[in-house]
Structure formats: structure tokens, C-alpha cells
Structure 1
Amino acid sequence: MRTIHAPGGTPGRWAVLAALVVLAVVMLFPFVIVTSNAIKSPAEYSSGGPLSLPQGVYFDGIVEFWQRVDFGRKLWNSFLISGTVALAAVVLSVLNAYALGIGRVRGRLWILVFFLVANTMPQEALVYPLYYLAKQAGLYDSKLAVIVIFTVIQAAFGTYLLSAVLGQFPREILEAAALDGAGRWRTLWRIVVPISRPTLSVLVIFFFIWTWNEFFLPLIFLISNDNQTVPVALGVLQGDKMMDATMSSASALLGIVPAVAFFLIFQRTLTRGITVGAVK
């Protein structure tokens, strides 16, 4: 006897779908409120409050905040630091993990434990030593100091993760490359890196977003207005008496949009990388 299934899926699937919709609404609600208040005039905000709908589009708050903090420069600083750190940290992670995961250097386990402990240390414990070293090297209040610091911090996590991935790399492929006369350097860039590209793409995206959102160390090391990043500029201006509620919302919106745009642009790459890693 044939069983006829009702179209549209089971009640369990509908419950999961409904829960996901509710979760999406809850997550998007603050973003909608910030956007709504950013395009309101101060008079509309005063009369209707933060939850009222805007009666028109008012860009003066966004324009005034952009000009006041020189937001274009802050945006460029964040892109430069985050992009450089993401690429440099992945390259350093690949080199370290290739030696630890495939090269099997002596003391591999203790080295990985060291990287893990270094990655779990709070930034507050690193401030004074890094401040002292930056002062001695003449790099204090420079973007290069922040790039070097975050490259090392992100590479510690990347090395720990990639060492586990490359430790499971098929030995047959490496042996075939050795028989064909490929050296270690050529094996790394012609075989290991192309095969591991999905995982490396995910690391680049994560490193970029993590560095973009960093606030504490850039606040300490970037004291000049011309060197500050977006989170630092937003944090310094919070509570400014010259900023009304609509301008504060405009600043929050301008700080969120670049990271969201970057995530949406590389969403397919991120999804593909996670899926390939799960299949492997």
C-alpha cells in the first residue's frame, strides 16, 4: 500500500522555519531602528521618539558626522589595516602550519600548545609589553604597529587551526609530488595551498572581520586622528555633547555597513569554504 505524503513538509520543518524567521527578525530589528533614526531629522526624533517611522529622508546627520570625523580617512585606515592583517596572517599561518602539520618538526605538540595559550591571553595583559616594544622600535602611533600586532595574534589562531587541517593532508599526494621532483617550497605553493584554498578563504574573511571590529588595542596604539580606525572613531565620539541622537545613529550605521557589505560580498566564498571543510 502506497503512503501519500502531504505537501509542504512536516510540522517540525515548519516550526524550525518559523523559529528561524523570528530569530532573523530579532537580529535585524536593531539594525532597522538604527537606520530609521539615522535618516530622521532631530525634530522628528524629538517628537516621535526612536521607534517612530521617518516621514522623509534626512541625510544631514550622516553628512555632518562624515565631515566632522573625516570618516573617509577612518574607513581607509580600517580597510588597510584589516586587509593587510588578513592576508599577512594567513600567509604566516600557512608557513607555520606547513612546518608543524606536514613537516612534523620536533616538539610539535608543545609549539601548538604555545600558540593556543598565546591566542587565549587577554589583550589587557599584552598592552604594556607591546606598548613598550612599540615605543622602543619607534612604531608607536603608526598603522604598522597595529598591523604587526594583529598579524601575530591572528596567525596564532590560524596556525593552530591549519596545523590540524594539514596534519590530515593525504600523504599519497605529497609522496607523488616528491617523486616528480617537487621540493618542499614548490609542494607548498603548487599543491597544498590550492587544495586548502577553501579553508584559507574562510580564514581571510574571519581575520578581516575580527581585525575590523577590534577596538581596545587600536585605541591604545593609534592616538592620532589621522591614524584612527572606524571603531576607535565611533568609541571616542560616544557621549559627545555636540552629537544628537540622529547623528549618533548615523555614526553607528556608518560603522556597521562596511563590515556587513564585506560579509555579503564574500558570503558565497564563506559558505563554500565551510561546506568543503565539512565534507572533507
Structure 2
Amino acid sequence: MSTLTLGRTRAARRDPDRYKQGAARWVVLVLVAFTAALVLVPFAVMLMNAFKSPADYSGNGPLSWPESFQLDGLRTYWQQVRFEGKLLNSIVISGAVAVLGVVLSLLNAYALGIGRVRGRLWIVAAFLLANMIPQEALVYPLYAMAKATGLYNSRLSVIIIFTVIQSAFGTYLLASVLGTFPKALLEAAALDGAGRWTTLWRVVVPTVRPTLSVLLIFFFIWTWNEFFIPLVMLVDNSTQTVPLALASLQGDRLMDATTTNAGALISLLPTVVFFLIFQRTLTRGVTVGAVK
């Protein structure tokens, strides 16, 4: 049998496998598209109801198309909760926590992963356990400390609390990454006369920058969505965040559905914009981490 004939025979044998793989990919694609459509259904309902009038919502229900697009719900929500102040508070708190949490995580992980502190495994395990503690178990001690230090009902108290909470996860993650850091780079930096701080900022940080970027994005979004601790620590209207603004619309026996949907839409937009801006950074960081 000639080489050409043998090659054709092998290709014919592989064709059924390729056909099966192609069919499987289409099935997976259809399932992913269907799942994405299901995820988007609540957002579509929220979008429709945000532009309805209360009479339209009461008469036609939440699943009907708006008879006319109304902006009364958006205006009522913006004015009623003073949304610009809540938005500024959320940006300041989330941004500060993201930056400070990443810096604190980096310093802790540098000492644990590269500095090889004694009892490193036990310390990393302690950080892992700290991530599992529910916020309900922390809220009373945090409340008592904030009262004792005069930080209660201030943005600084929430920034300090969530910086520590987020850095516990960041330390656990970065300590694992830096534990496998190439020793050749550290030895080369030492031969060039670099100290610990120079090695950290000139060698370690550029290498793990994608991971730091992912942590920064996650810390910002996680802090933005926090509700329970800010609800306890921030009681004044001038210090509250966006999630608390939504909660203020819920009455004991009455809820304005159109205003609530409009508020949910406005509150969702900043996080969507933030994610779209840093989407490439997040994708690049996850990809680089996977390749490493």
C-alpha cells in the first residue's frame, strides 16, 4: 500500500471523530447560549419595569412591555435617596479597600511566600480559616470597637474592616503564588545588590502584576456589593452606600416597584461600566495565571 493511500485511510478513520467533536461543540454552544439567555431574563424584566409608570405596572403586570417609556421612577429614586452622595461613598470605600487590600495582601504574602516566615503553613491556614468566618459572627466585635474608637458611622471604619477582610483572601492567594516564585530571579537581584524593598517593587511586583490586577478588580466589586456590615456601621444618610440606598426603598407594607427597578438599574450601571473598562485586564490576568 502506498504512502498516499495509507494517509487517506487514516484521514477517513479520523473524520468520524472530527464530526463528533464538531457536533459536541455545537451542543455546548447552544447550552451556553441558553444559559446566558436565562441569566439575562431578570435584567430584561428589570429594564422594562424601570421605565413604566406605577399605573402601567399595576394594570399590566411586570412582564408586559411598557405602554410608554417614563423616567419618573429614575428621577424619584435619584432625588429620594440622594444617589449622588451614595455613589460617591461607594466609589471612595470600594476604591480605597481595593488599593489598600492589594497592598496589604502583597506585603503579607511577600513575607510568607518569599521571606519564609516560621510557621508559614500555619499562618496561611489561619488566613484561609479567616475567609470562612461569617460576617454575622464579626459584626458585634466590630461594632463595639468602632464605638470605642469613635469611628462608628464613618467611611473610614468600613474601609478598615473590609481592607482586613479582603486582604485575608488576598494573602492566602498571593502566598501560594509567591511560594513558587523563581529563585533564580531573587538570586540575580541579590547579586546586583538589591535589598528586600527593591526586590519587592522591581522584581516581584512586575512579575505578579496580572494577579494583583485581578485582585484589585475583585476587591472593588466585592466591596461595592457588601450590604450587612455597612448596614450596621453606617447609619447616617450621608455615609451610606449604593446597596443601602436600594434597601431604603423597601417599606414595611409598601414598595414602589417601578422606583425599585429604576434604582436597581442605576445602581447596577457603575459596576457594569467598571467591569467593561477592566475586562481585558481581568481576562489577561486570569490567562497569565493559568499559563504560569
Q: TM-score range by the shorter chain?
A: over 0.9
TM-score in terms of structure 1 length: 0.96
State which structure, 1 or 2, has the greater radius of gyration over its C-alpha atoms: 2
Equivalent-residue separation in structure 2 for 1:243 and 1:108 (angstroms): 52
How many Å apart are 1:184 and its aligned residue? 0.6
Deviation at 1:47, TM superposition (A): 2.2
CA offsets 1:83-102 (integer angstroms, 9 cap, x no match): 10000000000000000000
Partner of 1:253: 265
- Distance in 2 between the 1:36 and 1:235 partners? 21
Task: Please state how far the C-alpha of 1:243 moved relative to its aligned partner.
Answer: 4.8
Query: Which residue in the other structure is 1:238 paired with?
Result: 250
Q: In structure 2, what is the Cα distance between the partners aligned to 1:97 and 1:116? A: 13
Map 1:81-230 → 2, pairs under 5 A: 81-230=93-242
CA distance in 2, matches of 1:196, 1:42: 52
CA RMSD of aligned residues (A): 1.7
Distance in 2 between the 1:236 and 1:119 partners? 29
Structure 1 partner of 2:4: none
Query: What SS is found at the alignment partner of 1:193?
Result: helix
CA contact (8 A) 2:249 2:256 kept: no
Q: How does 1:36-51 map to 2 (within 5 A)?
A: 36-51=48-63
Superposed structure 1 runs of 4+ greater than 6 Å apart: 4-7
2: CA distance, partners of 1:190 / 1:56? 59
Cα deviation, 1:220-262, whole Å, max 9, x if unaligned, reads: 0000000000111212322366752211111111222211221
Aligned residue for 1:54? Answer: 66
CA distance in 1, matches of 2:194, 2:226: 41
Q: How far apart are 1:120 and its partner, in Å?
A: 1.1
Give the Å deviation of 1:43.
2.2
Structure 2 residue identity aligned to 1:116 = L
3-state secondary structure, aligned to 2:235: coil
Equivalent residue, structure 1, for 2:82: 70
Give the letter for the 1:125 counterpart. Answer: A
Return the letter of the residue paired with 2:75.
Answer: V
- Cα distance in 1, alignment partners of residues 254 and 57 from structure 2: 16
Gap regions ≥5 residues in structure 2: 1-7
Matched residues, number: 280
What TM-score does the superposition give when structure 2 sets the normalisation length?
0.92
- Name the aligned partner's letter for residue 147 of structure 2: K
* Percent of aligned pairs with the same amino acid: 63
